[in-house]
Amino acid sequence: MNIDKLKNNNPDLKIRELVINNKTIKIIYFESLCTSSDINDFILRPITNNKLDNIRLIKDKLPSSNIVELKEEKELLFCLYSGFTIINIDKDYIAFETKYSLDSGINEASNEKVIKGPKDAFTENYQNNLGLIRKRIRTDKLIIKEYIIGSESKTKVSFIYLEDKCNKDFINEIDNKLKNMDIEYVLNSNYIVDHLEDNKSLFPTNIMTERPDLVTFCLLEGRCSIVVENSPQAVIIPAFFSDYMKTVDDYYQNNINVILTRIIRFISFIIAIIIPGLYIALTTFNQETLPTSVLINFSMQREGVPFPSFIEALLLWLSFEILREADTRVPFVVGSSMSIVGALVLGQAAVEAGLISPIMIIVIAISSVASFLFNDNDIVNSIRIWKLIFLLLGSFVGLYGIFIGTLLFIIRICSIKSFGYDFILKRR
């Protein structure tokens, strides 16, 4: 056993040697992964008090819920790295769980906020995450299959579904892919999804959520979920376009109100994508489509602006995106000063300097605000790219370009497949 070699490279590896009845008992553990009080109370004290010098006796007498008898070296290292304490007498090895809980406890969901409904969220603790789902579905039909993925990270990944609701072929397909997954390490749940499917579209084909209630809803609908160790986000597969138009909050409210809210979400999705391009197409190519009074108003505002509308829109869009990116990266404390600078510099000052017309600010602002109705970052990013495509088409070819863009968009979104399911039609 090359424990000593391990010791050189791992300063937090502790080896405690006891001599009882002339036998040397080695107690090996990682200080950083284990609770030392557990080792004192439940391993050291019983052994010294009872003078246990036999591996059988130790196994029987020590109070521990999780004991592994080790036969191979590989197993030993895995246990050691998972927070087990290993006891070695002669050539026998046995491992006791003394894991130190290295997580932040169950917190409120920070990114997917709801007004009504449960507020708990997944954490970095794998067992907690499984527990959060388990306590919502109390049936033996809930299947959790566990895999260990990652040649270096050895991350636990579980594949969860309801036996009677989920498509068998789909389960087998995912099961096979997970079994044969060959990657070095898994740092977050999206690593798994990226290897499960090669998604070339701009739209995400899975939902990454921190809300156990959303996962439960989807499981009950017959979808599957993947929970990854050390990742506070569970993945739901497959995902459909309509999922991004919903929030969990919808399920906790009066359905008539929710219908209106969803219509608003659809409208703002279209607004977010199309408005900047449409505005440029209408004002630089197809002025006849606007009422005269509106046109006069627009041209009054554009008077004196040095750039063509396209450059104007691009500049404003770019500065808005810079601001947004900065806002997500800066610490919370500096956030408010950022927004003041943004509002003043981008809004008022740019208009007063005559660089940008006020109507352009309205157009870019409404389309950006509309895209923030969607809390999934992936969909916001895909909206951003489609907005740019429409902007280009609108400013080079006018309304005709918007028409082509709309066709392109419909063709693209209809050809997306999420794990073999149709992204729009929700069927296989």
The residue from 11, 105, 304, 331 that contacts other proteins (CB under 8 A) is: 304
DSSP state of 116: S
CB 196 within 8 A of CB 186: no
Q: Which residues, numbered 49-108, are part of the site for other proteins (CB under 8 A)?
A: none
DSSP state of 140: T
Residue 295 as a binder of other proteins (CB under 8 A): the answer is: yes
Residue 205 as a binder of other proteins (CB under 8 A): the answer is: no
The one-letter amino acid code at 143 reads I
Q: Give the per-residue contact string, 391-410, with other proteins (x = CB under 8 A; - = no).
A: -xx-xxxx------------
In whole angstroms, how close is the CB of 292 to other proteins at the nearest point? 5
Task: Count the site residues for other proteins by CB under 8 A.
Answer: 24
In whole angstroms, how close is the CB of 357 to other proteins at the nearest point? 9
Residue indicated by tokens 């769980």? 97
DSSP state of 111: S
Which among 81-89, 293-301, 316-324, 418-426 is the span making contact with other proteins, rule CB under 8 A? Answer: 293-301
CB 310 within 8 A of CB 299: no
Q: Which residues, numbered 341-400, are part of the site for other proteins (CB under 8 A)?
A: 392-393, 395-398
The residue from 164, 288, 333, 411 that contacts other proteins (CB under 8 A) is: 288
CB 219 within 8 A of CB 226: no
Residue 46 as a binder of other proteins (CB under 8 A): the answer is: no
Residue 254 as a binder of other proteins (CB under 8 A): the answer is: no
Residue 305 as a binder of other proteins (CB under 8 A): the answer is: yes
CB 193 within 8 A of CB 235: yes
Residue 303 as a binder of other proteins (CB under 8 A): the answer is: yes
CA geometry: angle at 52 spanning 51 and 53, to 5°?
A: 110
Q: Cα(390)–Cα(43) distance, rounded to whole angstroms?
A: 67
Which among 140-148, 232-240, 286-294, 367-375 is the span making contact with other proteins, rule CB under 8 A? Answer: 286-294
Residue 308 as a binder of other proteins (CB under 8 A): the answer is: yes
Q: Cα(243)–Cα(132) distance, rounded to whole angstroms?
A: 22
Residue 198 as a binder of other proteins (CB under 8 A): the answer is: no
For 264-327, the DSSP string reads HHHHHHHHHHHHHHHHHHHHHT-GGGS-HHHHHHHHHHHTT--S-HHHHHHHHHHHHHHHHHHH
CA geometry: angle at 148 spanning 147 and 151, to 5°?
A: 145
CA distances 243 to 59, 198, 237, 257, Å, are 51, 20, 11, 18
Choice between 393 and 416, CB closer to other proteins: 393
Which among 94-102, 241-249, 305-313, 377-385 is the span making contact with other proteins, rule CB under 8 A? Answer: 305-313
Choice between 89 and 391, CB closer to other proteins: 391
In whole angstroms, how close is the CB of 298 to other proteins at the nearest point? 6
Q: Which residues would be at the binding site for other proteins (CB under 8 A)? A: 283-285, 287-288, 292-293, 295-296, 298-300, 302-305, 308-309, 392-393, 395-398
